[in-house]
Structure 1
Amino acid sequence: MRKLLTASLSILLSGCLGMPETVTPVKNFELERYLGQWYEIARLDHSFERGLEAVTAEYSLQENGSVKVLNRGYSSEKSTWKEAIGKAHPVDDEATGYLKVSFFGPFYASYAIFVLDHKDYEYALVSGPDTSYLWLLARQPTLDEKTLNHLVEEAAQRGFDTSQLIFVDQSRNLP
């Protein structure tokens, strides 16, 4: 938990609400459809998630209009689940996939959804403040190879170092 909090703080203090020049948040975004559980299929390495598998993110709407963020992952090294709870708010408007997320006090980091399956909301690519932050998310613990390859290529075209992607072991989340 300490790693998650420390890393969240470092993100928040390092880049705040910027995003890579190559990233444009999706339009026609429907926050209500984005809510629910997402599985982390791949990510770029950061200390706050290092060593975690079975990583999920769950988004739920709060009465005050903010979005509760529950990130969860399993540390096989420590044989424990780690959780971090945060909050998110749209930056521009609710029809743009650009949120600010906080896991620590008043400090926020960017959460830019730049690729999204608009039809079914089954997969997404998310960037943080720069190209060292990338998450490939899906509604299921696995993605078919064609979709996965397409998303990795989309990220590479935008300047993310996809050779450094960590493909998350989701076997703990499989039936």
Structure 2
Amino acid sequence: MMEGLELRHHTAEQAAGLIERLVELYLTVYADGGEFHNEDRYRRQLAGHMQRDGWDVVTAPIDGELVGYIYGFPLPAETRWWGGIHEPIPAGFTNEDGKRTFAISELMVAPDWRRRGIAKSLHDELLAGRTEERATLLAEPDNASAQAAYRSWGWQKITALRPGWEHAPTYDVMVKQISPNR
């Protein structure tokens, strides 16, 4: 892990005071992200996700500056996460019980801090000790560096999905086995 990097877990309650910093970094990372990556939509997404049981965010501050974060939550039995998924998919792929799948919703590192292992450290910290069978995330198909990183970390593309948000792009659905104990 990088010198000066201190990864910190926060529950939704603990993260309430960090919302402005989380949104600010999001807007920096997605400065050229088009209509979908706007402040209002992200604030609504973040507020909704923070209400999920088991929501967890890991932040990466260096000398008081937030340089990255990752967050996710277990998918409940009645999830909308899989809405917009493209067929074909393996039988039972979207079946959830609240304990099967941990969904990573965001992973971002400030542009000036990339390529230093921060994203991998955040990823590994968030998934360490998870008891779900698998994790999932949605990756932009044209983000070659993120796609390469995810593959090197053991993620596999399963299909594509277009979320129900207005102006949402189509993403690659990626899955990683994380707990063989289920």
TM-score range, shorter chain: 0.3 to 0.5
TM-score scaled by length of structure 1: 0.38
Structure number with the higher strand fraction is: 1
TM-score scaled by length of structure 2: 0.37
Structure number with the higher helix fraction is: 2
Look at both structures and tell me which one has the larger radius of gyration over its CA atoms.
2
Q: 1 or 2 for the larger relative contact order (CA 8 Å, sep ≥6)?
A: 1
